[in-house]
Amino acid sequence: MKNNLIHLTKDLRKDLIEVLEPSESHHVGCSLSIIDIVAYLYFEALHVFPNEPKSPNRDIFILSKGHGALAVYVTLYKKGFFSKEVLATYDKNGSTLPEHISKGVPGVELSTGSLGHGLPVGLGFATSFINDKKDNKVVVLLSDGELDEGSNWEAIMYAGHHHLENLIVIVDLNGFQGYASTEKVLDLSPLKEKIVPFNWNVYEMDGHDFKSMENVFKQIGKSKNKKPHFIIAKTIKGKGIPFFEGKFESHYKSVDLATKNKILLDLKNLS
């Protein structure tokens, strides 16, 4: 499993860079920080059906940090939800693949952009599945800066109170948000100690290490205490592109054609 996913995510990073519109596409670092998590979800953890995206038996994945859309798009392409020709239209005029994730894309459940909406919608899915006595999982991926939104804390209280054991939240803890580091804007620490009192199971994992992810999801699978699950995923913004890694500017910075070609050459040499 691990080696296959390592090779897969190398390909996904290459696909991600290839489809960027030079000097136009943004949020590269935001997508790179979550791409390993998204790959693990779609290829190991979620029951999804590329030939029947709206199957009633599917698990639900919601990318609440909608600006990380490209990580999901390249993964959906690799999983077989749409063709490489469709992926190549990313961020171009008239494309069905905009920079912020859109439910018009096969396999995408919710359009997000304004932060703080994904988790409340996830509650609806999770509640519906429990009421219908179905086993479908709901996974919502949040950014760490997005936890500044009050709607998320209302949702966290609700999910714990109503024992939504089929709900999994993953926080992309890369340490940066739109204007600076999360530590400077609004310090989240100690995050685990903030979540536990709301009746959640809380886990910590390395968001770039597949063994770490596997261990956490095994723990979730064995849980019997009827609590929702909150995963704090430590990640590196811009992971996989050395001059972007851990850099605030990768949040918005676009790459010109020469830089794009250099990144692709570097990725090729690493493979």
pLDDT in tens, 3-12: 899 999 999 9
Which domains, from first to last, does the chain contain? 2-270 (3.40.50.970)
Residue-level pLDDT, tens digit, the chain, 271 residues: 678 999 999 999 999 999 999 988 988 989 999 999 999 999 999 999 999 999 999 999 999 999 999 999 999 999 999 999 999 999 999 999 999 999 999 999 999 988 999 999 999 999 999 999 999 999 999 999 999 999 999 999 999 999 999 999 999 998 878 777 788 888 889 999 999 999 999 999 999 999 999 999 999 999 999 999 999 999 999 899 888 888 877 777 888 999 899 889 888 876 6
SS (H, E, C) the chain: CHHHHHHHHHHHHHHHHHCCCCCCCCCHHHHHHHHHHHHHHHHHHCCCCCCCCCCCCCCEEEECCHHHHHHHHHHHHHHCCCCHHHHCCCCCCCCCCCCCCCCCCCCCCCCCCCCCCHHHHHHHHHHHHHHCCCCCCEEEEEECHHHHCHHHHHHHHHHHHCCCCCEEEEEEECCECCCCEHHHHCCCCCHHHHHHHHCCEEEEEECCCHHHHHHHHHHHHHCCCCCCEEEEEECCCCCCCCCCCCCHHHHCCCCCHHHHHHHHHHHHHHC
Q: What is the pTM of this model?
A: 0.96
What's the pLDDT tens digit per position in 179-224?
Answer: 777 888 888 899 999 999 999 999 999 999 999 999 999 999 999 9
